[in-house]
Structure 1
Amino acid sequence: IDFEGGTLIQFKFEEPTTAGEIRGMINNTALGNAEIQKSGENEFMVRVKDMGVGNEIVEMIKADLSSKTFEVRRIEKVGPKIGKELRGKAYLAVVASLFLILLYISIRFEFRFAVGAVVALFHDVLITLGIFSIFNWEITMPVIAAFLTIVGYSLNDTIVVYDRIRENRHSIRNQALAEIINTSINQSLSRTVITSLTTFVVVLVLVIFGGEVLFGFSSAMLIGVVIGTYSSAFVAAPILIWWNEKYPAPVVKKK
């Protein structure tokens, strides 16, 4: 609703209720574009693009489901212009962050390192977004903020691995790049796992006790911490090996 505009109403029923009951009632009205999403036990969110129909939906549900007891948990209204503006800013924030990351790592390390890092970040965000889509969870501005936090967190792990690779390339000269990368991952693995585990525990507490307001943000962070931990070692590093094999560095001949 933050990005498309319209009205969102969340209901909490005291008795078991199905989305089909609500959907059947709404489809018999002029509100055929309404979307119904289960958000918890006997909780449902109804989204309608028309901003002016919030009270109308409440009255329709009261009339058609008069045998059930429920409460309206929240009503949100976002204009289409504001929704479009928020969507544009969210896209811009993600693209700008990835571009700046690409630029920074290219300067700090090499361009091929930057490619591996950015692909790994895309991987982290897309998988997290995919899990949200599978469970039909709502994408809100706090969730977008969680995506950007995931990008920063995963990048930190990736840079730790990359820094160890760079050090070992200078100290271990008689091994292939793949062997150096494997050694570097093993050397930094314990640090990565311990750091990620402590973060995971904190975020898990937020998921369990943070309530509905923090659920989207904390769930995205929980997924992102797990995905980002393995992508820094098993996505970014293999891409570096692939890039080195496909575009090998020129050999400087000694005179």
Structure 2
Amino acid sequence: MSKLGNLGARLHRGEIGYDFIGKRKIWYGVSILITITAILGLAVRGLNMGIEFQGGAVFTTPKNMSVSVASAENYAQEASGHDAIVQKLGDGSLRIQVAGIETSDATKIKNELAKDLKVDAEKINADLVGPSWGEQIANKAWQGLGIFMVLVVIYLAIAFEWRMAVAALVALIHDITITTGIYALVGFEVTPGTVIGLLTILGYSLYDTVVVFDSLKEQTKDITKQTRWTYSDVANRSINGTLVRSINTTVVALLPVAGLLFIGGGFLGAGMLNDISLSLFVGLAAGAYSSIFIATPLVADLKEREPQMKALRKRVLAKRAQAGSQEEFAGARTGAADSDDAAPAVVGPRDQSAARNRGRGRPSGKRR
């Protein structure tokens, strides 16, 4: 933990860092590939809509039923003429869900199930949802999602700027598409709990994005007055500075959701837990990814197209090139000075001969 804290501190101070912005095309490509896979899953398999959205009935049997889930599915399909989903609950009762039937047929189906399951029809509880009411619920869900998106864009445009609002909207659409695509591929049922989970993970996704955007806004207040960093450089430092915090918050949020999904839904067989926990788990992971690899690099791309940022980039690159030339020139001078200092220490035969010849023709006071 101490090493992780030191790493976070060094990332925040800019001592080390990963070039997220420079490698943004790689992350764009990965996101496009995942999004295409999700869209194909939606197109081929489609969403398994619950009875709350398409109408139907849910029959709950008494406790401690000895009938298997497979047998109950066959009984329900024969009685209704539609596909049925059967779950065995913790108390031994069976939850039989049949979608797409009229409420007037529910009594007949209930009686047929009672005969096949060998229980009293009065002991089977039936919850009915009409098709029109289910369609109304679906429309309300889409309206709520649309209103949420509009409010998010307006808030971010006012609090930050329109480029950040556009980037956040793209990241949210990315998260929704991936989450719904996973639902289509896995085949989980879409219920009101799923919609609640989607709205919840959009809030988490925005939280990570807004944290990075706030740091970026603070560090780029007077960016045009200096010639050391480009906008992309500052954006990259903002991501690195908040990276450990984003990872910590995401992991802490994913742990209880993973417990709901894999333990509550997988081992206990709780249907509602599956519906909401899968959307939370996939959405939290996708939201953390998009805030780092999609939203901020996209803002950097949009900002770098501004004339002021283009001029800043030219100045920064020119200064870096000049600094590099000066360092190269200084290095060359240092090398030349070292070679000049070493030259007098090298004594060759020619120098020795010249010195001896000069000494031979001189008169000496000792030899006359």
Query: Could you tell me the percent identity over the aligned residues?
Result: 29
- Say whether 1:50 aligns with 2:102: yes
User: Do 2:114 and 2:124's aligned partners in 1 also have CA atoms closer than 8 Å?
Assistant: no
Residue 250 of structure 2 corresponds to 196
Residue 86 of structure 1 corresponds to 137
Out of 200, 211, 228, the position equivalent to 2:287 is 228
Residue 251 of structure 1 corresponds to 308
Compare the two structures and name the one with the higher helix fraction.
2
Give the counterpart letter for 1:251 in structure 2.
Q
Give the counterpart letter for 1:186 in structure 2.
N
Separation of aligned partners in 2, 1:241 and 1:21:
57
Give the counterpart letter for 2:99 in structure 1.
R
Out of 227, 234, 245, the position equivalent to 1:180 is 234
Separation of aligned partners in 2, 1:197 and 1:38:
33
Give the counterpart letter for 1:184 in structure 2.
S
Alignment CA distance shift 1:134-1:58 (3 Å) = farther
Task: Figure out how many residues of one structure are paired with residues of the other and give that number.
Answer: 241
TM-score normalised over the length of structure 1: 0.79
Q: Which moved more, 1:204-213 or 1:137-146?
A: 204-213
Compare the two structures and name the one with the higher strand fraction.
1
Separation of aligned partners in 2, 1:176 and 1:8:
60
Alignment RMSD: 3.1
User: Do 1:165 and 1:180's aligned partners in 2 also have CA atoms closer than 8 Å?
Assistant: yes
SS of 1:127's partner is helix
Matches within 5 A, 1:1-255: 1-9=51-59, 14-15=67-68, 17=70, 21=74, 26=78, 31-32=80-81, 34-37=82-85, 45-61=97-113, 75-170=126-221, 173=226, 174-207=228-261, 208-209=263-264, 211-245=270-304, 248-251=305-308
Separation of aligned partners in 2, 1:244 and 1:2:
44
TM-score normalised over the length of structure 2: 0.57
Alignment CA distance shift 1:180-1:226 (3 Å) = same
Give the counterpart letter for 1:191 in structure 2.
R
Separation of aligned partners in 2, 1:73 and 1:226:
40
Give the counterpart letter for 1:7 in structure 2.
A
Separation of aligned partners in 2, 1:16 and 1:77:
21
Q: CA deviation at 1:56?
A: 2.9
Separation of aligned partners in 1, 2:109 and 2:202:
39
Give the counterpart letter for 2:207 in structure 1.
N
Q: CA deviation at 1:66?
A: 6.3
Give the counterpart letter for 1:189 in structure 2.
L
Q: CA deviation at 1:134?
A: 1.4
For residues 58-77 of structure 1, give each alpha carbon's deviation from its aligned partner in whole angstroms, at most 9, with x where no partner exists. Answer: 444566x669xxxx996431
Alignment CA distance shift 1:197-1:218 (3 Å) = same
Residue 319 of structure 2 corresponds to none
Separation of aligned partners in 2, 1:200 and 1:73:
38
Q: Which has the larger radius of gyration?
A: 2
User: Do 2:54 and 2:99's aligned partners in 1 also have CA atoms closer than 8 Å?
Assistant: no
Q: CA deviation at 1:228?
A: 0.8
Separation of aligned partners in 2, 1:241 and 1:38:
50
Separation of aligned partners in 1, 2:218 and 2:124:
55
Unpaired runs of 5+ residues, structure 1, are none
Alignment CA distance shift 1:203-1:126 (3 Å) = same
